[in-house]
């Protein structure tokens, strides 16, 4: 019985360490920097707030 408990604890520790190692390896250096080439534009948004446009009608 004690052998099974020791084996289970060892398996749990191994799984935790393997999970942490996998997350650290996968997460480092894979996020590219965001680069903006074109200038920011608002598109076809109105120049006045929607509430003021609505109150005129």
**Residues 20-52: tens digit of each pLDDT:** 998 888 776 566 677 778 777 767 777 777 777
| Residue 43, Ramachandran bin (φ over 0: left; ψ between -120 and 50: alpha; else beta) | left
Residue 8: the pLDDT is 97
Residue 41: the pLDDT is 73
Give the integer Cα–Cα distance in Å for 37 and 39. Answer: 7
User: Quick check: pTM over 0.85?
Assistant: no
Quickly tell me which residue has 């903006």 as its tokens.
Answer: 36
Quickly tell me which residue has 């920097």 as its tokens.
Answer: 33
Buried b (16+ CB within 10 A) or exposed e, 20-52: eeeeeeeeeeeeeeeeeeeeeeeeeeeeeeeee
């Amino acid at each position: 019985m004690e052998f099974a408990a020791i084996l289970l604890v060892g398996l749990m520790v191994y799984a935790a360490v393997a999970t942490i190692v996998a997350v650290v390896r996968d997460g480092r250096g894979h996020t590219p920097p965001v680069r903006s080439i074109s200038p920011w534009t608002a598109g076809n948004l109105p120049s006045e707030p929607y509430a003021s446009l609505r109150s005129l009608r």
